[in-house]
Structure 1
Amino acid sequence: MTRRTAVVIVASTRAAAGTAVDRTGPVIAAWLAEHGFDVTGPLVVRDGADVAASLRRALGDHPSLILTTGGTGLSPSDATPEATRELLDREVPGFMEELRRRGLASTPNALLTRGYAGVAGTTFIVNLPGSPGGVRDGLGVLGGVVDHVLDQLAGGDHPSSVP
């Protein structure tokens, strides 16, 4: 069986500068390890060009999954969605729609999440918000579909509902 690999990229200019503590990357990395992934990161970088460069480097290793956290809001420096979108071959908008829907149960700010989910080559990429609650919601959505997504990207067939 091929081992599943994942990369966690934290887009936080303040955490990268050492003036804030990243509270989301370790949570994501632990969740991935619990779900059988070999995890690289969390890699903490400034938002903007550093996120784009980190995404490109990570894709060069062809991981099964890349999860980003942070940089998905409306701040002028929030550029993670744009860096991600330019790398995607196919978008998976339903993932982000469900993430925002779940987040609305806790905060109206969930509507402001601009992240993307999609496929680049054989890698599934998801932008999670930079808040612990947004990460919790995102991992909840991911947990329900990640096995199927990765099976599909590896060429698997849809499970048959007919006996």
Structure 2
Amino acid sequence: MKHTEAWKRSSPDEIKIGLISISDRASKGIYTDEGVPALRGWLESALSTPYVFHERLIADEREVITETIVELTDDLGCDLVLTTGGTGPSRRDVTPEATMDAGTREMPGFGEQMRQISLRFVPTAILSRQTAVLREIEGHTALVINLPGQPKSIK
């Protein structure tokens, strides 16, 4: 695969991270998104290597979520994509399905571990449907992980 200018890195150690907040209301401007700022803040405090973020705020629409994951991994070369929102049991919550559509292999241990940890603090965590996948294209593999929609749960 021929990589575009968007794939260039400022250093060999730089990690490209896609941050996607999935919210119908925030994407329409009904309220301010807190998901991407929470993800960014946590990562900035945790990372010691060079990084660059590519951020998106989108509606909870299966095709849009899948297309956004593909854009971040295939077009921009993100190594890691974190989503927040859309993992609950309601019919509008389609992030896990959209993530599976974008993935080439499921990584079920991530969702299992996140639910296990969350259950220590919130009894309804068992209702969360986070998942993780690898998206593999020629010459590149990215990890995509769904995180909860509540900013306090992201940590």
TM bucket normalised to smaller: 0.7 to 0.9
Higher share of residues assigned helix = 1
Residue by residue over 1:21-77, the C-alpha shift from the partner in whole angstroms, topping out at 9 and shown as x without a partner, is: 222211111233341321111x11101132222112112222110000000011221
Structure 1 residue corresponding to 2:69, chosen from 55, 66, 77: 55
2:58 is aligned with 1:45: yes
TM-score (norm 2): 0.81
Q: Where do residues 4-153 of structure 1 align in structure 2 (5 Å cutoff)?
A: 4-34=15-45, 35=47, 36=49, 37-41=51-55, 43-48=56-61, 49-60=63-74, 61-121=76-136, 122-136=141-155
Q: Which residue of 2 aligns with 1:151?
A: none
The letter for the 1-side match of 2:152 is G
Measured in 2, the distance between the counterparts of 1:92 and 1:38 equals: 24
Measured in 1, the distance between the counterparts of 2:31 and 2:22 equals: 12
CA shift for structure 1 position 93:
1.2
The letter for the 1-side match of 2:113 is E
CA shift for structure 1 position 87:
1.7
Measured in 2, the distance between the counterparts of 1:114 and 1:53 equals: 20
CA shift for structure 1 position 119:
0.9
Q: Number of aligned pairs? A: 135
Q: What is the aligned-residue identity percentage?
A: 33
Q: Which residue of 2 aligns with 1:156?
A: none
Residue by residue over 1:68-98, the C-alpha shift from the partner in whole angstroms, topping out at 9 and shown as x without a partner, is: 0000011221111111001212222111111
Indicate if the aligned counterparts of 1:100 and 1:111 stay in contact, CA closer than 8 A: yes
**SS state at 2:102 partner:** coil
Indicate if the aligned counterparts of 1:6 and 1:32 stay in contact, CA closer than 8 A: no
Measured in 1, the distance between the counterparts of 2:106 and 2:28 equals: 32
Indicate if the aligned counterparts of 2:66 and 2:101 stay in contact, CA closer than 8 A: no
Q: What runs of 5+ residues in structure 2 fail to find an aligned partner?
A: 1-11
Q: What runs of 5+ residues in structure 1 fail to find an aligned partner?
A: 137-163
The letter for the 1-side match of 2:108 is P
Q: Greater RCO between the two (CA within 8 Å, min separation 6)?
A: 2
What is the CA RMSD across the aligned residues, in angstroms? 1.4
TM-score (norm 1): 0.77
**SS state at 2:111 partner:** helix
The letter for the 1-side match of 2:126 is L
CA shift for structure 1 position 123:
0.3
Indicate if the aligned counterparts of 1:32 and 1:39 stay in contact, CA closer than 8 A: no
